[in-house]
Structure 1
Amino acid sequence: MIDTSFHAFTEDLRQRLQRPLPGEAAHRKMASSNRYRMGIKPNERTRRSAVLICFYPYQQSVYLPLILRPQYDGVHAGQMAFPGGRMERFDENLVRTALREAQEEVGIRVSDVKVLGLLTELYIPPSNFFVQPVVGVLPYCPDFYPDPHEVEAVIEVDLETLLDETIVGDSQIEVRGVMVDAPFYQIQGHRVWGATAMMISELLMVMDT
Structure 2
Amino acid sequence: MKKLASWGVGAGLTALALSGCAAASVAGVEPTAASTADSLTPDEIEIAAIPNQEFASAVGPVLESFPNDFAFFYFDSEHKPVVGFTDEAVPAVLDAVDSTGQQAQIIEHAGFTDAEYTATAEHLGADLQATWPTDVPLPMIGARPDVGVGVIGVTRIADEASPDATRVINESTRLIHEAAVESPFTIQIDTKIFGPGTAATSIDRWNGE
TM range (shorter): under 0.3
Query: Who wins on radius of gyration, i.e. which is larger?
Result: 2
Which TM-score applies when normalising by structure 1? Answer: 0.26
Larger strand share, 1 or 2: 1
Higher relative contact order (CA 8 A, sep 6+): 1
